[in-house]
Chains A and B, each alone.
Chain A
């Protein structure tokens, strides 16, 4: 089946709320109905037809050609199917997503996978701050699913995360896995200062040594069965992350400023 393809004509004049462009919301709509969907975030009305050339196909696979950092909330609430973006996206890509695959060939803005519950987000470029993190006022961030960033991530990747897996194949900014409740974050490259800041539970795996808070306690280097299981799981998503988990890793318990039930793994 051909995907439903939306080709961006020009860079939008304003930020757009692209949350209507998910498979379950587009299912059963005609080309004309899709063209009438409003995406504006200001008082100036903008519809899909104004900005995109619509080529009909199966709504279960939506393809966006031509990206922009003004395309916000792509894949929001998505619960199945596939969205492919041939370019960059704005903030909150895959927010509250529950299932399906969101593949971004470019880079993503802040809060990619914010509050996500299930499914997979793959970002070929880099991701902004607070992958999976909650918006202001929310008590928890990501609670399921997988986010893979082939490039680097900004600050606080996996902020307030409860469950699920975040994989960053290159570097991550400061405070990775900050305030983590539980779940797993893997950073294959360098990590900025103070990873795991105030993490309560959960696991943070680092590919390189990092500047850690003194509230992380060295527990020794181990070849843990749990890391083999994690390695087997991430292998389908990231060969680089899987390779990192094949070696024995040093376990640091923390953040002792909170419960001390979290852990950071670094190369021995």
Chain B
């Protein structure tokens, strides 16, 4: 594969291939930032991949109290899925089981879309007839009596059909420690990019997959990038690579994904090859499956 060399780091001349998704955003607030974060973390748990979890979700950013609708500390959560119906189901289940249940929580729309998903309109029935609708400033809120007071939830939230899922960076380094350091630097940088999340644990995936399997499974380990199989299989790894990690990015827009990848790439290059990555690549399926292509050479700082 052709490569470019930037400050001693080899950048593969390849691209990340990403897919169109449906997405929504929420603002979750609570009496303290700690409990807002807790509700958001619980809601976005087990949401790494649509294949096994139905949705991909994570925290976009912390929202200071002065910016939230109720003036309490908050967190913005992004939720992605492959269809509107699945997204609606995931939204309802996750907010119902994880935010409604969290002490002192409230939940608001975090995205203005032309189309709406039911939020409070679906959860209000928990009130068993004692729920109260309040409408002001063109917005409708549901108040549901709960054991610590009231759960307040905006009636709907916006849906976008322009979301993109599957932007990625494959980070390759000499050792596990160096590769992880580079990946962590990239995650920290991408966290600062609005409208984009990394759904995997701490933003990092260590088990990249390929399509197909010798067994009856749709996907299996990406053996070409497994350092312990170098030389055994048709490996994509050079002799100096001892560990590989992947960052997967979902964004509300294609621009957000590109900005996130660029921010991650810049952070990896800033860290340098001595303590970080020796090489950066990206995952694709030959360009035929996903409509969005992000070429690494276009994203270099």
Q: Which of A165, A222, A228 contacts B72 (CB 8 A)?
A: A228
Whether the Cβ atoms of B72 and A226 lie closer than 8 Å is: no
Given A184-B136, A261-B132: A229 and B152 interface contact (C-beta under 8 Å):
yes
Give residues 9-32 of A contacting B (CB, 8 Å).
none
Question: A203 contacts which chain B residues (CB < 8 A)?
Answer: 132, 134
Instruction: State whether the Cβ of B240 lies closer than 8 Å to any Cβ in chain A.
Output: no
Instruction: State whether the Cβ of A150 lies closer than 8 Å to any Cβ in chain B.
Output: no
Q: How far is the CB of B159 from chain A (nearest CB, A)?
A: 23
Interface residues contributed by chain B, number (CB under 8 Å): 18
Secondary structure of the A contact surface, majority rule: mixed
In the bound assembly, the distance between CA atoms of A165 and B134 in angstroms comes to 10
Whether the Cβ atoms of A261 and B130 lie closer than 8 Å is: yes
Q: How far is the CB of B32 from chain A (nearest CB, A)?
A: 14
Secondary structure of the B contact surface, majority rule: strand
Q: How far is the CB of B265 from chain A (nearest CB, A)?
A: 41
Give residues 217-268 of A contacting B (CB, 8 Å).
222, 224-226, 228-230, 232-234, 261, 263
Question: A230 contacts which chain B residues (CB < 8 A)?
Answer: 134, 136
**Central interface residue in B69, B132, B134, B152, by most chain A CB within 10 Å:** B134
Question: A222 contacts which chain B residues (CB < 8 A)?
Answer: 149
Q: How far is the CB of B248 from chain A (nearest CB, A)?
A: 35
Question: A261 contacts which chain B residues (CB < 8 A)?
Answer: 130, 132
Instruction: State whether the Cβ of A156 lies closer than 8 Å to any Cβ in chain B.
Output: no
Question: B149 contacts which chain A residues (CB < 8 A)?
Answer: 222, 224-225
Binding site for A on B (CB under 8 A): 29, 69-72, 106, 130, 132-137, 141, 143, 149-150, 152
Whether the Cβ atoms of A232 and B150 lie closer than 8 Å is: no
Q: How far is the CB of A82 from chain B (nearest CB, A)?
A: 19
Question: A226 contacts which chain B residues (CB < 8 A)?
Answer: 132, 134, 141, 143, 150, 152
In the bound assembly, the distance between CA atoms of A129 and B25 in angstroms comes to 45
In the bound assembly, the distance between CA atoms of A184 and B133 in angstroms comes to 11
Instruction: State whether the Cβ of A182 lies closer than 8 Å to any Cβ in chain B.
Output: yes
Known A226-B143, A228-B70; 14 more pairs at CB < 8 Å? A163-B135, A165-B136, A184-B136, A203-B132, A203-B134, A225-B149, A226-B132, A226-B141, A228-B71, A229-B141, A229-B152, A230-B136, A232-B70, A233-B137
Whether the Cβ atoms of B134 and A225 lie closer than 8 Å is: no
Question: A163 contacts which chain B residues (CB < 8 A)?
Answer: 135
A-B pairs with beta carbons under 8 Å apart, 27 shown: A163-B135, A182-B133, A184-B136, A224-B143, A224-B150, A225-B29, A225-B72, A225-B106, A225-B149, A225-B150, A225-B152, A226-B134, A226-B141, A226-B150, A228-B70, A228-B71, A228-B72, A229-B69, A229-B70, A229-B136, A229-B141, A229-B152, A230-B136, A232-B70, A232-B71, A261-B130, A263-B132
Whether the Cβ atoms of A229 and B134 lie closer than 8 Å is: yes
Question: A234 contacts which chain B residues (CB < 8 A)?
Answer: 136
In the bound assembly, the distance between CA atoms of A36 and B85 in angstroms comes to 59
The 8 A-B residue pairs with the shortest CB-CB distance, nearest first, are A233-B136, A225-B152, A228-B70, A233-B137, A226-B143, A225-B106, A225-B70, A226-B152
Question: B71 contacts which chain A residues (CB < 8 A)?
Answer: 228, 232
Whether the Cβ atoms of A184 and B134 lie closer than 8 Å is: yes
The residue on B at minimum CB distance from A253 is B130
In the bound assembly, the distance between CA atoms of A267 and B94 in angstroms comes to 37
Question: B106 contacts which chain A residues (CB < 8 A)?
Answer: 225
